[in-house]
Amino acid sequence: MELQQFRYVVALAEEGTFTRAAAKCFVVQSALSHQIKNLENELEVELFRRTSRRVEITAAGEAFLKAARASLKSAEQAAVDAAAVTGQIRGRLRIGLIPTVTAIDVAAALKVFLHKHPKVHITLQVAGSDELESAITRGDIDVGLLGLPRNRAPQGVAWRHLSTDRLVAVVSYEHSLAGQHEIQLSDLAQETFADFPTGTQARAESDLAFAAAGIHREVICETMATDFTINLIRQNLAVTLLPSRYALRYPDLVSLPITDGPSRIEYLAWDDFNPSPAIRAFLDIVE
């Protein structure tokens, strides 16, 4: 058995098709299929049940998958430890971030990081703060950039405060409020909103503020895709609340300070149990 075969089994189990698994492993589909079949012949068990339409992992495959993942993780850690002896940092760094990060320039930080540590493989995932928090505790990502309401600190992870920002109302130049210097939440009571999905921390920032003010609002669009929200605002179909520093990215729209509006705090979060050299190096760069 070879580690590459283990990687193929894990990829096929995660992706569900030979085509996607092969693409994930950067090999042709026939090679991946052949190697998995060879492994099954060697083990004399069927790891996957195949039909013309689908691939399903068997009970034997599930048992093998757990050990395969552990073996790959051990091999990866062995390479990292060996490199560390010579002062090199290698391995992987999985970073999760909310779509409205402003506390740091993520691309600039990654450029500095990769210049110093070119052997580290980086992956990025964009998601909500709750999802990222859970992914860190599960070990699915290494570092997260979160955005939370003022009364909600990160939970179950190590964290560092990065910045605090006020939310502003973002409207089109055609909107009736566009000429105001500042507004109150009550000025938005009759507006139609686009916002993040219900239950996310990004949405909670606004919901808590309107609830505290006793204001019900109509939300016609819930999405994590901020570009779509911005396009609705450009067409004067909705308004939204966004961190003021993030709203500066859209000079063709109007950002209105809200005197009784909510705040958003950005955090850097990670699992503090035996962080890898790559995690520690990234934390140092953000610092």
Q: What are phi and psi of 275, to 5 degrees?
A: -65, 145
pLDDT at residue 274, rounded to an integer: 80
Has residue 189 got a pLDDT over 80? yes
Domains of the chain, each with CATH number or no CATH: 3-85 (1.10.10.10), 91-162+266-286 (3.40.190.10), 166-263 (3.40.190.10)
pLDDT in tens, 216-260: 999 999 999 999 999 999 999 999 999 999 999 999 999 999 999
**Looking at this protein, which amino acid is placed at residue 178?**
A
Residue 123: burial class (beta carbons within 10 Å; 0-12, 13-18, 19+)? exposed
Q: How far is CA 170 from the centre of its chain?
A: 24
User: Between residues 40 and 73, which one has the greater pLDDT?
Assistant: 40
pLDDT at residue 209, rounded to an integer: 92
pLDDT in tens, 70-128: 887 777 766 666 656 656 687 889 999 999 999 999 999 999 999 999 989 999 999 99
pLDDT at residue 70, rounded to an integer: 82
Q: 6 falls in which pLDDT band (50, 70, 90)? A: confident
- pTM to 2 decimals? 0.72
Q: What percent of the chain has pLDDT over 90?
A: 66
Per-residue exposure over 239-270, b if at least 16 CB sit within 10 Å of its own CB, e if not: bbbbbbbbbeeeeebbbbebeebbbbbbbbbb
User: Between residues 234 and 45, which one has the greater pLDDT?
Assistant: 234
Q: How far apart, in whole angstroms, are the C-alpha atoms of residue 191 and residue 206? A: 14
For residue 184, the tally of other CB atoms under 10 A from its CB is: 14
Average pLDDT score over the chain: 91
Q: Which of 104, 78, 102 is nearest to 91 (CA)?
A: 78
The pairing of beta strand 263-270 with beta strand 158-171: antiparallel
Distances in whole angstroms, Cα of residue 96 to Cα of each of 10, 102, 133, 167: 22, 14, 9, 22
- Which are the contacts of 231, defined by CB distance < 8 A and separation ≥ 6? none
pLDDT at residue 87, rounded to an integer: 62
